[in-house]
Structure 1
Amino acid sequence: MSKSEGPMHGTAATPQDAQAWVGRVETREGALSPEFAGMLMGALGQPAAPQPAIHTGAIMPVLWHWAAFPEFVPIADIATDGHPKLGGFLPPLPFNRRMWAGGKLAFKGRFAIGEKITKRSEILSVDFKTGHTGDMAFVRVGHDLRGQGGAQIREEQDIVYLPIPDRFRAPRAIAAPEAPIFNERVEVGPVRLFRYSAATYNAHRIHYDRDYATGAERYPGLVVHGPMQATLLMEAAMRHTGHAPTRFSFRGVHPMFDGHLHLQAEADGPGALKLCTVAEAGHQGLQARFDWEE
């Protein structure tokens, strides 16, 4: 269930109009059922990672709360790209491409499978900018999550809105770490991408519809979900350090496409790792930082 307060659907917002969405609040209740947890396990499993328990009451793997609040939007309210149409909780910005650019989280305790979780979301800012690819907009959304058992997550999510280009222009390539602490190769083919889309109820067509991804949005292949990359890095970091995170942040620096990727890490001082996904071509895709208390 959800409850929203703020402006309703409308035409594309100007930079001035979009500021009316700042402060907009939405409250929802959700849970990660064993069934959705099983779908996530089937999407995220890889040979180096043990299968987690997914029964009711089991400790929820970190970042799996992203599947606890599916948006059950009617087909009539879905845009061409597969996302829910803009103008409800999120502002109707005048750009056709949107992506989860990054985020940061702070953790207190752990949620459980099947536990009721309350999420309060607020639009923190809407900023229009001009970069080397042209005009764009960034929306920052804050989320406060609280579980029945007392666990909490404070999360800030950055969403970027861009025009669709006439052709794909790759961002500047950032080289992989020279001597990573670990290097795990993970297959990210169409089946995994479809499964993760299904488990998170994410209908964005760039992840499973190759004709749309390459034709309409000009990508060279199916796009690997940023949150899936973050979740794979999180699991690897917890497994290698033996610690749960106190804080975690991530940002996309280069789109990753179907095929294979590598999970890599470097030490970043006491109680911290710098993480990244790396394409077969050798450049980084998603960068992250994992902090824990000794």
Structure 2
Amino acid sequence: MPIAPNGLGPYVESWSPGTVTDDDLLSPAPAAALSALLDQREPVAADGDPLPPLWHWLYFLRWPAQRELGEDGHPRHGHFLPPLPDRQRMFAGGRCEIAEPLRLGERAQRVSSLTSVTTKQGTTGELLFVTVRSEYRQQGRTRLVEEQDIVYRSGRSAGRHPAELDTAAVPHAPDAWQLPLRPDPTLLFRFSALTANAHRIHYDAPYARGEEGYPDLVVHGPLLVLAMLELARREAPSRTVGSVSYRLRRPAFAGEHLLACGTPSDHGAALRIATPREDRHATAEVSFA
């Protein structure tokens, strides 16, 4: 389908998806699985314990029928997926305000709504920015509020990715908090399963290279964010995170040596993901309550 003469705007002029409400029991099992993926000796949270910040991404998952997936593994249709031709999706960033942590073993409710839809001109063409706001409630109280920014384009873009990766190089940084990571295909496959993410760039290397133009499998944006937040959880276990904002800037790839870095302050911490070729693949700001 050709792009409308006036760009992406006409495709979403009448697009106005309503509010969606979902429920989940917040079983300890997904949290235990992510703990194992992060090589923790024991689950970081059990029944009745507070869920670490943004670990709610393991819950309220949607599993569309196989016939509803596109060639890239993403759903062809979805409530908050804009009606663009040949749609490509990128997770750009978000914000989360935490009044109280969600607790495992208790039923929770998520109420999601469309906040904004805007078009912008990027270096590789027109982009559509969609922000979805979700309120998470337990026991009749709003525990946290999150906004996620998703960027869409129509059609493919070659992007700016390295032709080859130096998987032997190790990043170095002066930051006080450091957590080395080296995601391999097994880890990426397990995280895809944990988050119901069937996008083939995370587990199908021939597809990632041949169809999407990446040098290798792409590390999930949410995994980079959770790795940054691990710094606060491990290095400041007595502090409670009251808010977090994050931005995904450049993709990282399987086999690369990554370094989650953090610089703490009295009121929070500045976090980032570095490789030898890029200082800030992702960044985050954490404020303590």
The answer, yes or no, to whether TM exceeds 0.5 is yes
Aligned AA for 1:59? P
Distance in 2 separating the partners of 1:41 and 1:106: 23
Equivalent of 1:91 in 82, 101, 104: 82
Equivalent of 2:10 in 16, 19, 22: 16
Give unpaired runs (5+ residues) of structure 1.
Answer: 1-10
Deviation at 1:275, TM superposition (A): 0.4
Contact 1:213 1:222 in 2 (8 A): yes
Q: Is 1:35–2:60 an aligned residue pair?
A: no
Q: Which residue is equivalent to 1:201?
A: 196
Deviation at 1:22, TM superposition (A): 4.0
Q: Which residue is equivalent to 2:61?
A: 70
Using a 3 Å threshold, how does the CA distance of structure 1 residues 202 and 53 change in structure 2: closer, same or farther? same
Identity %: 35
Q: Is 1:284–2:280 an aligned residue pair?
A: yes
Q: Which residue is equivalent to 1:215?
A: 210
Aligned AA for 1:72? W
Contact 1:22 1:126 in 2 (8 A): no
Contact 2:20 2:112 in 1 (8 A): yes
Alignment partner of 1:246: what SS? strand
Contact 2:231 2:262 in 1 (8 A): no
Aligned AA for 2:27? S
Q: Which residue is equivalent to 1:7?
A: none
Equivalent of 2:223 in 219, 228, 231: 228
Contact 1:116 1:147 in 2 (8 A): yes
Instruction: Give the 5 Å matches for 1:183-194.
Output: 183-194=178-189
Alignment partner of 1:21: what SS? coil
Q: Is 1:273–2:265 an aligned residue pair?
A: no
Deviations 1:40-63 (A, max 9, x none): 2222x14xx664344332322221
Cα RMSD of the aligned pairs, angstroms, is 2.4
Deviations 1:123-170 (A, max 9, x none): 1111121111112111110111112374611100000113322x3414
Aligned AA for 2:15? W
Q: Is 1:249–2:241 an aligned residue pair?
A: no
Give unpaired runs (5+ residues) of structure 2.
Answer: 163-170
Contact 2:189 2:202 in 1 (8 A): yes
Moved over 4 A (4+): 11-14
Q: Give the TM-score, by structure 1 length.
A: 0.85
Distance in 2 separating the partners of 1:282 and 1:17: 36
Alignment partner of 1:257: what SS? coil
Q: Is 1:264–2:258 an aligned residue pair?
A: no
Instruction: Give the 5 Å matches for 1:78-227.
Output: 78-86=69-77, 88-148=79-139, 150=141, 152-162=143-153, 163-165=155-157, 167-170=158-161, 179-227=174-222
Alignment partner of 2:49: what SS? coil
Using a 3 Å threshold, how does the CA distance of structure 1 residues 92 and 23 change in structure 2: closer, same or farther? closer
Deviation at 1:24, TM superposition (A): 2.5
Deviation at 1:86, TM superposition (A): 2.9
Report the number of matched residues.
274
Using a 3 Å threshold, how does the CA distance of structure 1 residues 235 and 51 change in structure 2: closer, same or farther? farther
